[in-house]
Amino acid sequence: MIQFKKPIVSIIIPTFNQLKYTEECIQSIYSRTTIPLELIVIINNKNDGTVEFLNQLSNTHNNIKHIINDENKGFPISVNQGISSASSEFVLILNNDVVVTNFWLETIVDIANRNELIGIVGPISNEVSGVQKDKEANYKTIDEMHLYAATVKEKNKKKCCNFRALRFYVHLLNEK
């Protein structure tokens, strides 16, 4: 079993069906993240196989919690359930259909730690509206996505933008 230090980030993943996406999301987190974390998965349908998947995964990872709702509580309530269960300095809200890239979480935490006035951090993406949208993103496979993300990370090293509002699927909240 993998042993972790106290988690730096609690990743909240609300789910409602879509087991395949949840599996891909969590597998990408474990293969692309190096800092200590805890996963808190909120399950809004216990009949889609997510509970069994997480129980299997907890045999090799001791940093998974899950909350099972008997009915679909919806995104806001699910997120609040996860936040209430979090034990880390940072809380990250992640949609279950996201596949993360190398150093994704390390970069977000680094930005949040640069200035104590920063309260929420969010990424650029090909699947978001507004100023966070990366209009140059053009890839057809997950492998191409990882190559593109590495290029963007290098190009934007140590850069960050201020947005009036963050949109979509990844938000890191500084609980300091």
Within 50-98, residue ranges assigned H as helices are 50-57, 75-85
3-class state of residue 65 by DSSP: strand
Ordered per-residue pLDDT tens for the chain, 176 residues: 455 567 899 999 999 989 999 999 999 999 999 999 999 999 998 888 999 999 999 889 889 999 999 999 999 999 999 999 999 989 999 999 889 988 889 888 988 888 788 778 877 677 666 666 677 778 788 888 778 777 878 887 777 777 766 665 444 455 54
What confidence score (pLDDT) does residue 172 get? 47
Three-state secondary structure call for residue 161:
coil
**Confidence (pLDDT) at 36:** 93
The pLDDT score that the predictor gives to residue 5 is 63
Q: Which domains, and CATH codes, for the chain?
A: 9-122+165-174 (3.90.550.10)
Please report the pLDDT score of residue 168 as a whole number. 54
- Pick from 151, 156, 169, 172: nearest CA to 102: 151
- Per-residue model confidence (pLDDT) at position 141: 84
pLDDT given for residue 62 in this prediction: 87
Predicted confidence at residue 1, as pLDDT, reads 43
**Helix (H) / strand (E) containing 1:** none
For the whole model, what pTM was predicted?
0.83
Is residue 29 within 8 Å of residue 39, measured between CB atoms?
Answer: yes
Look at residue 42 in the predicted model and tell me its pLDDT: 97
